[in-house]
Structure formats: structure tokens, C-alpha cells
Amino acid sequence: MAESLKELAEVEYWVWLVIAPIMLTQSTWLFIDARKRKRYPWFWGLWGLIQFPLPLLFYWVLVRRKRKVK
């Protein structure tokens, strides 16, 4: 575990400056769209804030596609 923390500390700062807006944008979009569709907006927003790109992919498959079929 200590090794993984060392690796995180060695990541360049510009990488974090690129990753942060991507995750924030993903989280915001997921929250707004899920709220519009009444599909657990806080869950999708928080999950989108901590991981990329799985929340977006799961959202498209589980929420967006399911709504289009009906």
C-alpha cells in the first residue's frame, strides 16, 4: 500500500490538472441528466466524481438505453 501512495505522489501536477476537470464535468453531467430522468442523481454524481469512465458507461447502458427502449 505504501508503494501505491508513493506512485501517486510521483505523478506530475499537470496530470491532476487535466484529470480534475474531466471528472468534475462527468460528475456534473451525470447528476443533471439523472435528476432530469429521476434516476438516483446523487448516486450517479458521486460515482462520476470518484471514477472515470465506468460510471459514464454504466449510466449510458442502464439508464439512457433503458429509457429509449420504453
**Distances in whole angstroms, Cα of residue 11 to Cα of each of 5, 30, 32:** 10, 27, 31
> How many Cβ atoms are within 10 Å of 47's Cβ, its own excluded?
19
CA–CA separation, 25 and 1 (whole Å): 29
In this prediction, residue 68 carries a pLDDT of: 55
DSSP of 12-52, one letter per residue?
Answer: -HHHHHHHHHHHHHHHHHHHHHHHHHTS-HHHHHHHHHH-S
The 10s digit of each residue's pLDDT in 6-50 is: 887 787 889 889 999 999 999 999 999 999 999 999 999 999 999
